[in-house]
């Protein structure tokens, strides 16, 4: 908006008269004869802007290409998802943002919000498990030496017939610390075991333990790049709700899944923002929204009954969890490669 204001100051006459447009009798893109405000052959506008102000207008139009579409699409996505899905499938494309465009925008927004609201890690992400084990071993040796000194002092006091209650408390504290260190050491040793039968996942888990900060960064990067994979992963699960039904096709399921994922992604971004402003309880309440949204979308998109909608929404919630788990395994495998 600031750019538009600057452009208006530079060219105050921009858009105020016919000088801001070039009137043509033939399309400047494909040279077809013009009939109306747009070329009937390629769709380019008949009037071509040639001003700085128009350039920034096109920039805003590109960023918010959704223009009126976004304000028609988002309310329906939130409150009438089934109707939105069905109308798009039936051919009403010009009125709404396409499912894929909305999904990509939602993913971008989710990660942008995440990076703005994430908290600083309390521990140094570059500290590896081996470093932790070395420090644990050094601490254990120190505690053992201290414990041996206290026990010798207690024996000396006992030999003199003096009170040893105070030193007994110190010995008990050192013994408790030694026991904790042994447990930590045993836990670290057990973590060297394989995580699963899939070697790629085992490597990913080991690398995460060795450098959790780097692996978390790689996981975020791969999750952003491969977010689209959630669509083909989820479509077969939705097909299972209507197996061999000739009324609905894979295209219908793909539109349903993509709009649903867009809503869930936007809901996740909203939950992050709410949590960041200190309303974690409200953000937790949003966890109740996805099943209801699935139910409303199933009812509107497929015309199922109330009972059928409840049963299918319940199954879809389970399928969504499985799909998300599969996606997580995919990202973990990519991060560990």
- Distance between CA 231 and CA 255 in Å, rounded? 9
Q: How far is CA 292 from CA 44, 218, 306, in A?
A: 42, 33, 12
Q: Are 324 and 290 in contact (CB under 8 A)?
A: no
Q: Which two tokens stand for residue 322?
A: 């499985």
Q: Count CA atoms within 13 Å of residue 242 on its CB side.
A: 20
pLDDT at 245 > cutoff 60: yes
- Distance between CA 65 and CA 20 in Å, rounded? 21
Which of 141-155, 202-216, 261-275 reaches the highest mean pLDDT? 261-275
Residue 79: its pLDDT value, please? 95
What average pLDDT does the segment 16-36 reach?
69
pLDDT at 328 > cutoff 90: no
Percent of the chain with pLDDT over 70: 69
3-class secondary structure, 275: helix
Query: 71 or 173: whose pLDDT is higher?
Result: 71
Angle between helices 289-302 and 250-276 (to 10 degrees): 150
Residue 100: its pLDDT value, please? 92
Scan for tokens 């077969």, then name that residue. 236
pLDDT at 158 > cutoff 50: yes
pLDDT at 257 > cutoff 50: yes
Q: Residue 132: which residues within 8 A CB-CB, separation 6 or more?
A: 188
Angle between helices 250-276 and 230-239 (to 10 degrees): 120
Scan for tokens 């538009």, then name that residue. 4
Residue 84: its pLDDT value, please? 95
Q: Which two tokens stand for residue 325?
A: 């788990």
User: What's the whole-number average pLDDT of the chain?
Assistant: 77
| pTM attached to this predicted model | 0.63
Question: Of the given ranges (7-16, 97-106, 108-117, 236-245), which has the lowest mean pLDDT?
Answer: 7-16
Query: 284 or 269: whose pLDDT is higher?
Result: 269
Predicted confidence band at 284 (pLDDT cuts at 50, 70, 90)?
Answer: confident
């Amino acid at each position: 908006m600031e750019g538009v204001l600057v452009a208006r100051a530079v060219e105050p006459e921009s858009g105020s008269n016919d000088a801001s447009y070039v009137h043509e009798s033939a399309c400047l893109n494909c040279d077809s004869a013009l009939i109306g405000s747009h070329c009937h052959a390629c769709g380019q506008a008949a009037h071509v802007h040639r001003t700085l102000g128009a350039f920034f207008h096109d920039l805003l139009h590109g960023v918010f290409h959704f223009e009126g579409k976004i304000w028609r699409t988002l309310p329906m996505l939130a409150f009438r998802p089934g109707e939105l899905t069905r109308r798009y499938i039936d051919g009403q494309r010009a009125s709404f943002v396409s499912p894929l465009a909305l999904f990509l925008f939602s993913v971008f927004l989710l990660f942008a919000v995440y990076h703005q609201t994430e908290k600083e890690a309390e521990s140094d992400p570059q500290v590896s498990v081996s470093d932790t084990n070395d420090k644990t071993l050094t601490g254990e040796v120190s505690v053992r030496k201290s414990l041996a000194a206290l026990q010798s002092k207690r024996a000396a006091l006992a030999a003199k017939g003096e009170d040893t209650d105070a030193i007994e408390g110190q010995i008990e504290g050192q013994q408790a610390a030694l026991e904790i260190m042994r447990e930590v050491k045993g836990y670290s040793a057990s973590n060297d075991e394989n995580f699963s039968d899939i070697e790629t996942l085992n490597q990913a888990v080991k690398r995460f333990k060795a450098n959790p900060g780097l692996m978390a960064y790689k996981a975020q990067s791969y999750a952003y790049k491969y977010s689209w994979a959630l669509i083909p992963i989820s479509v077969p699960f939705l097909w299972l709700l209507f197996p061999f039904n000739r009324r609905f096709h894979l295209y219908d399921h793909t539109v349903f899944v993509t709009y649903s994922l867009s809503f869930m992604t936007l809901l996740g971004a909203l939950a992050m923002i709410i949590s960041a402003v200190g309303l974690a309880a409200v953000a937790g309440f949003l966890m109740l929204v996805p099943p209801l949204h699935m139910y409303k979308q199933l009812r509107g998109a497929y015309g199922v009954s109330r009972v059928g909608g409840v049963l299918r929404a319940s199954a879809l919630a389970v399928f969504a969890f499985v799909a998300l788990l599969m996606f997580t395994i995919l990202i973990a495998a990519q991060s560990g490669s």
